[in-house]
Amino acid sequence: MTGPDAPATLHATGLGFRYRARGGWTLRDCEFTVPSGRITALVGRNGAGKSTLLHLAGGLLRPRWGEIRVLDAAPGTPEARARVALLTQDKPLYPRFTVADTLRMGEKLNSRWDQAAAERTVREGGMPLTARVGELSPGQRTRVALALALGRRPELLLLDEPMADLDPVARGEIMAALMAEAAERGTSIVLSSHVLPELEQTCDWVLLLRNGRVELSNDVDALRENHALLTGHAGQADTLAAQHTVVQRRTSGRQMTALVRQRGPLRGDWHVERPSLENILVGYLQDGDTVRSAAAERTEAVA
C-alpha cells in the first residue's frame, strides 16, 4: 500500500540501543519518520549507528529503549518478516550452493517469491545459474544476495552498504534496478551508503545520523531549497547565526564561507549558491567550526 494514507516506512520514538560489551550508546534519543514509497539515503560516518539502525528495523536486534516500527508493525514479527527484506553487509550465502540452488532456497522459504525478478537480477550480472556461490567475485555474490532480497517482493527493502564491493558500472546498474523497483512496485528502500554523489541521483529522502543521533530526516528537494552556501565578510558571522541555523562555517582571514539552513530571507552582503545534496550531507558530517545549538539540533532531527 502506497500513497498519503500508507503507513510510514520507518517510525522511531525515543529509540536507543547499546551493545553491552561496548558500554556507550550506539543510538540514543532517535525520533524520526520516513514516509512510504521513498528511496531513503541512510548516511553517517563510520560508527554513527547506521548498521545498528538497519538491524533494529530488520528485527535482528531489539531496542534497549524506545520503539521502532516498520510499515506500522513491530520488527521481527511474522507480519514484518513477510513484508521486509534486509541485506546486511556480510551477505550470508552458502558457498557450496549454485546460484540456482540459492534461488530455489529462496522460493522454498518465501510464499510471495518472484523467480523471474530474482533470475533477472542474477543474469544482468552476467553469471550462469550453474556457478557455485563460493567461486563468484564479491560483486557477483552481492548480486545473488540482492536477487534473494528482490525475489521476496518486499514492501520495504533495507540495504546496508550493498555496493561497497561493486565497480562503478555495476553500481550504476544496481542503482537503476532499485529505482525501477521503487517506481514499478512502490517499494520503499532504505539504503546505507558512503557514495554520496550516487545518492543525489537516486534518493528522495535523507536520514542522517551523527554521533548516534538523528540529525536530519527530510525530503531531498526541501533540503536543497532551504540550505544555502554563503561567502562573505567574516564580520557578518554573528548576525547570520542570529537569523539562520549555521550548519558549518570556515573563516580564512576576513572571509567566511558557511552552509546555512535558512529561517527566512537572507540579509547581508553574501555571494549565495544553492548547494548539492553532497554539499549538505558533508556539511553536517564534517568536524569543523559548527555553531548549531543543541536545541536547534533536536528541532532539526524531528523536522
H helical segments located in 48-167: 50-57, 78-83, 99-109, 115-123, 138-151
For residue 216, CA distances in Å to 42, 158, 285, 290, 301 come to: 10, 18, 11, 15, 5
DSSP string, 172-207: HHHHHHHHHHHHHH--EEEEE-S-HHHHHHH-SEEE
Domains of the chain: residue spans and CATH: 10-211 (3.40.50.300), 225-301 (no CATH)
With the CA atoms of 284, 289, 291 and 297 taken in that order, what torsion angle do they form, in degrees rounded to the nearest 10? 30
pLDDT in tens, the chain (303 residues): 555 556 799 999 999 999 987 768 899 999 999 999 999 999 999 989 999 999 999 999 999 999 999 999 999 999 999 999 999 988 889 999 999 999 999 999 998 899 999 999 898 888 899 999 999 988 889 899 999 999 999 999 999 988 777 788 888 888 888 888 888 888 999 999 888 888 888 899 999 999 999 999 999 999 999 999 999 999 999 999 999 999 999 999 999 999 999 999 988 899 999 999 999 999 999 865 544 433 344 344 434
Q: Yes or no: say if 12 and 68 are a contact pair by the CB < 8 Å rule.
A: yes
Q: Yes or no: say if 129 and 122 are a contact pair by the CB < 8 Å rule.
A: yes
Beginning with the edge strand found earlier in the chain, give each strand of the sheet holding 27-34 in spatial order.
Answer: 27-34, 10-17, 65-70
